[in-house]
Structure 1
Amino acid sequence: MIDLGYSLSRRFPDPPQTDYRTADVRALRHDLFCGDVYLADTEADRELSTAWGWVPVLDFAWALCDIVERLDRDPRGSRSARPVHAELDFTESTDRMLFERRFGWVDITADWVPAEEAPLTFNHAALRREARDFLHDLIADLTDMHEGLADNPAVWEVQARYPRV
């Protein structure tokens, strides 16, 4: 089972004068909502997590949805033996989360994890569902905390682009 989560940082709060209703995509994805994220395999009791405090959590959720879709471009889908690769880079560092899909499975590892540690492995369809749920749940949390965010057109667009499955 997949568990995706986040925590917002107290060290890197959003600027108090932010108008969330009109914040542009760059601000939403890179400047606001900093914290940490984790991706866990609850059955294997293993996780990949950040502990930096500055990861833009909305960008992580948005990028994860993008990556899951990119991994599905092979017309053979889950029948494809050819590996498909993608990476999620963390803007403020050289660290990356690495994804490889083969058949219907996605292996996920990260630069900061020792090379001898096995990757987390998830079913692609389950990862798609969980990534989209995480994005929508995160947006619901953030709109509860930040007045005007629910009225931002960029938020509407990302929710429409990645509906819950």
Structure 2
Amino acid sequence: MLDIGYSLSRRFPDPPQTDYRRADVHALRHDLFCGDVYLADTEADREVSTAWGWVPVLDFAWALCDIVEQLDQDPRGSRASQPQYAELDFTESSDRMLFERRFGWVDVEADWMPGDEPPVTFSHSALRREARDFLHDLIADLTDMHEGLGDNPAIWSLQSRFPRLP
């Protein structure tokens, strides 16, 4: 079972004068909502996680949804035997989270994982569904915490671009 989660950092709070209603895409993706994120295989009790405190969690959710779609560009879908690759770069470091899809499965690993540790593997369809659920749940949490964020047009656009899946 796949679990995607986050925690917000107390060390890197958002600027108190932020007008979330008018925050631009760059601010939403790179300057606000810093913390840590994880992708966990709850059955195998393994995860890929950050522990830096400065990862922009909304950007992570947004990028994860983009990556899942990028991994699905082969018209053969889950029948494609050629591996498809994507990576998520963390802006403030050289670390990357790496994704490889073969058939209907996606291996997830990170530069900071020990070299002998195997990747965490999820079905592509579960990763797509959970990534979108994570994005919507995160937005709901953030709009509860930050007045005006729910009225931001970039947030509306993001939610419509990646709707929840049944």
Same fold (TM over 0.5): yes
SS in 2 for 1:130: helix
Distance 1:42 1:148 in 2: 35
SS in 2 for 1:15: coil
Match of 2:131 in 1: 131
The equivalences for 1:1-165 within 5 A come to 1-165=1-165
1:80 Cα deviation after fit: 0.3
SS in 1 for 2:99: strand
| TM-score normalised by L of structure 1 | 1.00
Deviations 1:61-97 (A, max 9, x none): 0000000000000000000000000000000000000
SS in 2 for 1:88: strand
| TM-score normalised by L of structure 2 | 0.99
Q: Quick one: percent identity of the two aligned structures?
A: 82
* Letter of the structure 1 residue corresponding to residue 147 of structure 2: E
Distance 1:89 1:41 in 2: 22
SS in 2 for 1:26: helix
| Unpaired segments ≥5 residues, structure 1 | none
Distance 2:122 2:12 in 1: 32
* Letter of the structure 2 residue corresponding to residue 10 of structure 1: R
Distance 1:70 1:6 in 2: 23
Q: What is the CA RMSD across the aligned residues, in angstroms?
A: 0.3
Deviations 1:108-157 (A, max 9, x none): 00000011100000000000000000000000000000000000000000
* Letter of the structure 2 residue corresponding to residue 99 of structure 1: F
Distance 2:109 2:95 in 1: 11
* Letter of the structure 2 residue corresponding to residue 92 of structure 1: E
